[in-house]
Structure 1
Amino acid sequence: MLKYTTHTGAIALIAFSVSLTSFAQTSGADTYKAKCQMCHAADGSGNTPAGKAMKAHPFDSPDVLKQSDTDLVAVIKNGKNKMPAFTGKLTDAQITDLVEHIHSLQKK
């Protein structure tokens, strides 16, 4: 019985770890889709009605590419021009994942 309980516990721990890993890998994309895509577009081009109205720079533009991760975090937290601030709306971990997702869009 002890062997069965130990194996069941180990399996549950592995399943929990895998589910957390999956969440961490998709959270930047999920946050982007929920909070950013309506203005910045799915591909980061800014080619949406809201993005055009706000004059959102495409993520692969020189203005955005030259920004460091610290710069991008500051823009997300504090907003810029017509972009709203997300301090208090997103956690630091979500913002970090979002910056990683932005970099993935820049590479496409």
Structure 2
Amino acid sequence: MNLKTWLKDKDSTPGSWESEEIVNCINMSRKVMFIVSESFLDIGWSSFAVQMAITHAFHNHRQGSIVVIIKDELPLDKLPNEIKNIWWCIEHCRWPEDETNDEIILSKLCNVLKISNIIE
């Protein structure tokens, strides 16, 4: 599938500024995906990352580069205002309730990322 990810706890360089890491990763990305859950809403850096992704997307005329996946049956009205304000120009879907079905999850991700599904 040739996807690269950046996970803060796994991929951050010790001693580096988190804000710099976020901005660098966004700048190097074709798509920026946010998995929005209750815990995502509680993390302070999430808002910064969303704002930086939006700024980058609009500055570079790449509004379709932001992907939002809503998890935990989160109601849309709980989404951050930054996401609600650009809802019309981002890719989005809901994470399936049955998290044990990898095929459904992979199919949804492939669809929203607009890549070929490798499941045969």
Shorter chain as denominator, the TM-score bin is: under 0.3
Larger RCO (CA under 8 A, 6+ residues apart): 1
Q: TM (normalized to structure 2)? A: 0.26
Normalising by structure 1, report the TM-score.
0.28
Higher strand share: 2
Q: Which structure has greater helix proportion?
A: 1
